[in-house]
Structure 1
Amino acid sequence: MLVQRLGAPSDFDPLLERVRDARVVMIGEATHGSHDYYRLREQLTRRLIAECGFSFVAVEGDWPDCDRVNRSVIGAPGGAADPRTALERFDRWPTWMWANAEVARFCRWLRAWNLDRPASARVGFHGLDVYSLWESMQAIFDYLGEEDPTSLEAAQEAYRCFEPYGKRIEEYGMASRFVSARCEEEVIRLLARTREHATSDGPDRFSAWQNAEVVAGAERYYRTMVGGGPESWNVRDTHMADTLDRLLDRYGDGARGVVWAHNTHVGDARATDMGADGMVNIGQLARERHGADAVALIGFGAYRGAVIAAPGWGSAAETMPVPPARPGSVEQRLHELLPERAVLVFDGPDEPDWATGTVDHRAIGVVYDPSFESWGNYVPTRLAQRYDGFVWCDETTPLHPLPAVSFPGELETWPSGV
């Protein structure tokens, strides 16, 4: 294991050397509300783009919202002149995950970087997630109305099937336990029509296809969610992995992608108790599909600090304390061993016991209660198998959300909102 003190972006050199030849680099976060994770992830991503030629950034966010950001950062016709304007339109709770000053800073840099390059060489910004059923449906209507009115019928049939459940789409999940209530056939027809048109070139056609894939994924997600267990989680992460693969294909030969998501999605599930529970994630799926040498997984962690999170699902975000990590945890051990900030690169069989044995590793979602630290918020982990590299911050500070008005969105996911 190599350990490098972090102070400047150049201190990422050992990690960059480890991951520079990867086709996919996934960069995690231990919370969705820590400034330090977002800022360090930005620094590393800038270097991957500028020095290694990565093609796009794909995040744990909704496709339609991120598509507006993408149009801004690549300078597409009709795109916002300032990416912050697009980020401020995020209205699905928790808005602060992406509508924050840290992401705005990165996207402004990315736009400036792109506008100095030909359109074919510009770096995109895309959403991987599955939640935006209604927004994706509307985007399909808008596209078909302009480009293919004859296919509107398939979209309208799918819409009519979901319409009785309104915005509370989880009610569809409950109703779908009865076969007559399912919308699978309508969604399959919609997906088939948009796939046919997506075989032609053009970003709008690809986006319409991806929105249809979101509708199909959302239908499966809500139908499986009511049954409990790992299946809905697996539907969601498989959808994100499939979206990543479509983006790699879309960007063409030699395309390379950076993924931003929570540690729980990025770190290989097989190195945690998630694997024993039958759960997969995008880190595991990418390693299986592309090979471990083509995929680099980077985790984050901290000993204590403060975080932006909410006390309950749909509640207003607050600045909350993150108490010192649980005794015996990865975080407590690294607090004893490492400087205030450091990067670890796992590079061989002779790793220390705390990196190869099963040790608790903290995971904070958008819903957080610091009083649960004594028994919750930790995932048993074999760190050197879960990640290829790890970024350490002894103490973190809160994220800086942009002003936003949000609605609650979907039901809670396991673990709490990651």
Structure 2
Amino acid sequence: MTDDTTPTDDAPTDERTAPNGSTDEAWPRADESLRPLADRLAERVVRLDGTDPADLDDLAPLEDTLADARIVGLGEATHGTREFFQLKHRLIRFLVGRLDYRLVAMEANFAETLAIDEYVVHGRGDPRDALDGIRFWTWDTEAVLALLEWLREFNEGRPVEDRVRFYGIDAQFTGASAEALREFFAERDPALLDEHGEGLDVLVEERIDVDRESIDGDDDDGATGETNERLERAERTVDAMRTWFDDRDATDEAVALHRQHVRALAGALANKRGAQENDMRAAIDERDRAMAENLAWTLDHLPHDRAAVWAHDEHLQRTTRETRFGTAPSLGSRLAERYGEDYFAVGFDFADGEFQAIGPTEDSEGRELDAWSLGPPPEDAATRLFATVDESLWFLDFAAATADERLADYFDAERPVRSLGAIYDPDDEHGRLHDSYRLPASFDGLVFVAETSRARPIERD
């Protein structure tokens, strides 16, 4: 069953909560001290009727807001919220159907998502297998499957050049790109393969991830020994392949595709080099740099010049990322620098409810994927203002909000909102589970959901 319906009150749940969290009104959603501001904000939001992807009528007011955008970043405050995924499906349908977008880019690896592109463009393969193959449990859900099935339905019977394409832009894994390059060079240049076969083996088998237990604290220079030797061998191999492609015909489609595989590998290795040297700020920087470059390639390579980008809020914000390892440029800050006002970033926030993430087991001896919820947000969180608005599901254009002087004053400050990725740490509610933004500078728009539910993993035999 695909996830194209709204949640029901009797949906099964396996929720576990933080020590200071609860599903039973753990905090007063409506903060009456914020009521005057909330009422002013309510006058400027676009009320959304629900999360059903099939109904787009209530999104009509967004047509003028997004008409001039070339890239729309669709964020999320967690990697495991069903309503966020359904709403992003709705927004992608809107962008494709009303504004002629023909590219969806996702926070997933380039090579692994080529099977998804084959399915949505040509109907080849099984979308469940394709989602399983990208190695991101975050997207292996009924809601994302429903999006892929709709993209296939939309593309059916259209001229190939008018079909929506689907590409991953992340840079975390090396295996699939390396395997594709090994097959390519076996035909095009076996001598290069003979010289760098060991380096490609390292990349195919992904034997370059750092053993974090070998690093002794923040002052350690990183991993050494065999792991570092394998990384250096892989880097030499990628450099050799990059040099090979420098003199090749860019109009050759196979050359263009496999050159991009090399770029994707280079980005992944730069990310891993930062981790190897215990420089996580550099690793974060290189990952977002690679995502920006991969997105630029898809826009340059394809005839379509408008893209919807699916990723976390932290990646898509227009400003730099403030992490516990230091400040680093984000994917979104690079898109804002490159595309200016043609980039429109949409953040997400929520008040209550559940989401899925990797968190501690009941005995705290390990970690597992489970359902969780958060307790009250910080006292100065924008989430408290959003929760006081009488509407429970809405879109806000920050340009419209800040036209009001009192709202502009409120948002002209760093304010926390909900924010966590794949990992849930119940001992860090107001640290890694919230991020502070000067919201109108970081996002052009925001979607707020009062009550959320866990994303539903795809059931398999």
Residue matched to 2:232: 182
8 Å contact from structure 2 (residues 419, 432) kept in 1: no
Number of the residue aligned with 2:108: 61
- The runs of at least 4 aligned residues of structure 1 exceeding 6 Å deviation read 176-181
Structure 1 stretch displaced more, 229-238 or 316-325: 316-325
Q: Displacement of 1:140 after TM fit?
A: 1.3
Distance in 2 (CA, whole Å) between partners of 1:241 and 1:334 is: 31
Is 1:30–1:364's contact at 8 Å kept on the other side of the alignment? yes
1:257 aligns with 2:307: yes
Does the CA contact (< 8 Å) of 1:268 and 1:283 recur in 2?
yes
Q: Which has the larger radius of gyration?
A: 2
In 2, Cα distance between the equivalents of 1:150 and 1:22? 46
SS of equivalent residue, structure 1 residue 60? strand
Q: CA-atom RMSD, angstroms?
A: 2.9
The aligned residue for residue 349 of structure 2 is: 301
Q: Separation in 1 of the partners of 2:373 and 2:230?
A: 48
* 1:127-179, Cα deviation, whole Å (9 max, x unpaired): 1111121222112112333555455346525325668x963522597238979
CA distance in 2 between counterparts of 1:381 and 1:338 reads 23
1:282: how far off? Answer: 1.0
Q: How does 1:194-343 map to 2 (within 5 A)?
A: 194=245, 196-197=247-248, 199-202=250-253, 204-225=254-275, 226-252=277-303, 255-270=305-320, 273=322, 277-291=326-340, 293-311=341-359, 315-343=367-395
- Partner secondary structure for residue 328 of structure 2: coil
Per-residue CA distance 1:67-93 (angstroms, 9 max, x = gap): 1111111007xx31x422311334x3x
Alignment partners' CA distance in 1, 2:163 and 2:231: 44
TM-score computed with the length of structure 2 as normaliser: 0.78
- Same amino acid, percent of matched pairs: 25
Distance 1:161-1:397 versus aligned 2 partners, 3 A rule? closer
- 2:422 matched residue in structure 1: 366
Mapped contact 1:154–1:190 kept (Cα < 8 A): no
Q: Distance in 1 between matches of 2:230 and 2:155?
A: 49
Residues 312, 367 of structure 1: 8 Å contact kept: no
> Structure 2 vs 1, CA of residues 294 and 334 (structure 1 numbering), >3 Å: closer, same or farther?
same
Unaligned runs of 5+ in 2: 1-40, 51-55, 213-221
Task: Please tell me the residue identity of whatever aligns with 1:214.
Answer: A
Pair 1:182–1:306, CA change in 2 (3 A): same
Instruction: Work out whether residues 326 and 373 of structure 1, in 8 Å CA contact, stay in contact via their aligned partners in 2.
Output: no
Q: 2:186 aligns with which of 127, 142, 145?
A: 145
**1:108-139 deviation per Cα after TM superposition (whole angstroms, max 9, x unaligned):** 11011112211111111111111121222112
Does residue 381 of structure 1 match 2:437?
yes
For structure 1, the 5+ residue unaligned runs are: 406-418
Shift of 1:357: 1.4
Residue deviations 1:343-370 (CA, integer Å, cap 9, x gap): 1011255351332211112211111034
Distance 2:410 2:183 in 1: 53
Q: Which residue is equivalent to 1:396? A: 452
Question: Of residues 49, 65, 89 in structure 2, which corresponds to 1:7?
Answer: 49
Range 145-154 or range 183-192, more displaced: 145-154
Secondary structure of 1:283's counterpart equals helix
* 1:414 paired residue number: none
Q: How many Å apart are 1:218 and its aligned residue?
A: 1.7
In 2 relative to 1, CA 170–302 (structure 1 residues): closer, same or farther, beyond 3 Å? same
Aligned counterpart in structure 1 of residue 410 of structure 2, from 347, 350, 354: 354
Secondary structure in structure 2 of the residue aligned to 1:230: helix
TM-score scaled by length of structure 1: 0.86
Q: Return the alpha-carbon distance in structure 2 between the equivalents of residues 193 and 236 of structure 1.
A: 24
